Structure 1
Amino acid sequence: MKAALSISPQWLNPRDSVTLSCEVDKTSTGWRFSWYRTVSYRAGLPSLSDKSYSLQPLSDNGTTADSYTLLPAGPTPTGGYVCRAGRGDPVYDTLYSEPQFLWSGDLQPSVSLRISPNTTQHFTSKSLSLSCEEKGNSTGWRLMSYREKRVKSGCARWESITESTCTITTLNRWYSGVFWCESGSGEYSNAVNITVHDGDVILESPVHPVTEGDSVTLTCTFRYQETNPNPKTDFYKDGVLIKNETTGEMTILTVSKSDERFYKCKCAPGESTESWVVIH
């Protein structure tokens, strides 16, 4: 039997609590739950079967409750989490759950993930570059991603910060997922949720959170822009039409928390998917 972990919310908001929930066979009782944070593989610690991560216990004795609260949320809790449950005497333990991840889009003091082009939506067949930019004396960072429900090295031939940039020359839809930089000691950079589209229209929106009071520009981009450089564009917020533009761009001059919503655009060639714009 295998436990199943869920995290709510999976993207951190400052000062919010985060709840881990562990699900096992609902027809039986008497379970005791153990909670773990993933760290780089180390001999002597329990590990996932593929040895991609070792597991650091969050508490010494586990809990009788099937949920565990991380409070307050902030830079420290970002990373991967695993649970399992045990019952009986002698104790029968379930298999470890698949790791689930808690991410933050906020820039971190040790390292930041930078991407080019600097947007969350991308076209198939285009290129994308990602790099871990160190700050201070931080070392040993590598690019990671969570795609197709699996943890993967972000670039097959790029395993350390000494090779500073990973370039994906031809994007495909299976590159959609969350990318981040991770250190050997288990620190995480900001995370970026990348989506790759095979349609004709994407919405270019900020990769990093926008500061309240700043301006932000959303751009509707057509795959074959050179043939129709400025199509008439409709912009939507939470599915409601908010603006018509002839330039393909919409600027919010002074953003506030109320502007933290889903946005998309529509023009003659087609319609983008939605992107969430984060305001801090």
Structure 2
Amino acid sequence: LIISPSRTQHFTSVSLSLSCEDQSNSDRWRVRRYTESWGLQDCSSSLWGSQTGSTCTISSIIASDTGVYWCQSESGEKYHPVNITVHFFVILESPVHPVTEGDTLTLRCLNQHSTPPNLRADFYKDGSLIQNQTTEMIISNVSKSHEGFYYCKHPERGESPKSWISVRGVSNECCCKLSHSESQISVLHTLSSVLAVCPYLIVTVVLIFKCCRMRVSC
């Protein structure tokens, strides 16, 4: 699910676009949601949004649009559920999808009525202050220990809702490919070593053979 603007928290009264990523037959995919206010709904068959192809557009979101959104195929398969929160005044800008271990995570505190929108605020994780009075928080080399609920707080403008940041491990496929490449390098290294030694072995064998013949003749 591709969300534009690309974040999980959004201000009220702005436009929001949700698209189901590639699918060769995009018209067969639909955006669905579940909210506490409205229950289970399709974008294409309700008043809250309009769907064209695989893209759902909400022209002006409101607080009751807060909920879980996902892509669903004609056969009923669900893909990429995302929690979306709609809030007044202050929001936390965070990634839509899980962050991969080793990547960099950047969080910002935004205000609906500021230009530019970035606030100098305090950042919290699981209720504990982790960085204060800064316009953005950057965590390099992310690990599983960085998973948790994050939010930001400004002394005058207020605080944002909480967002769960999820961290996923490096793909096993990448590891397998790396391991396969390393094994290939190891084999090539061994072969090159053997080929380098071969001439010396041949010369040594020839000399030993000649010496033996000389002794026999003597």
Contact 1:143 1:181 in 2 (8 A): yes
Residue matched to 2:192: none
Q: Which is higher, the Rg of structure 1 or of structure 2?
A: 2
Structure number with higher helix proportion: 2
Contact 1:154 1:179 in 2 (8 A): no
CA distance in 2, matches of 1:130, 1:165: 6
1:219 to 108, 121, 132: 108
CA distance in 2, matches of 1:208, 1:229: 23
Residue matched to 2:200: none
**Structure 1 residues not aligned, in runs of 5+:** 1-112
1:135 shift after superposition: 3.6
Residue matched to 2:197: none
Residue matched to 1:272: 160
Return structure 1 stretches of 4+ with deviation > 4 angstroms: 136-139
Contact 2:9 2:85 in 1 (8 A): yes
Residue matched to 1:194: 84
CA distance in 1, matches of 2:119, 2:97: 27
Aligned length: 163
CA distance in 2, matches of 1:140, 1:163: 8
1:269 shift after superposition: 1.3
RMSD: 2.0
| Cα deviation code 1:211-239 (max 9, x no counterpart) | 0000010110011121x655421000111
The residue type equivalent to 2:6 in the other structure is: N
1:270 shift after superposition: 1.1
Matched, 1:258 2:145: yes
Going from structure 1 to structure 2, the CA distance change for 1:192 and 1:136 (only over 3 Å counts) comes to same
2:67 to 171, 177, 182: 177
Residue matched to 1:31: none
Going from structure 1 to structure 2, the CA distance change for 1:275 and 1:186 (only over 3 Å counts) comes to same
Residue matched to 2:53: 163
2:10 to 106, 114, 122: 122
Residue matched to 2:35: 147
The residue type equivalent to 2:78 in the other structure is: Y
1:275 shift after superposition: 0.6
| Cα deviation code 1:4-51 (max 9, x no counterpart) | xxxxxxxxxxxxxxxxxxxxxxxxxxxxxxxxxxxxxxxxxxxxxxxx
TM-score relative to the length of structure 1: 0.54
| Cα deviation code 1:90-115 (max 9, x no counterpart) | xxxxxxxxxxxxxxxxxxxxxxx111
Identity %: 55
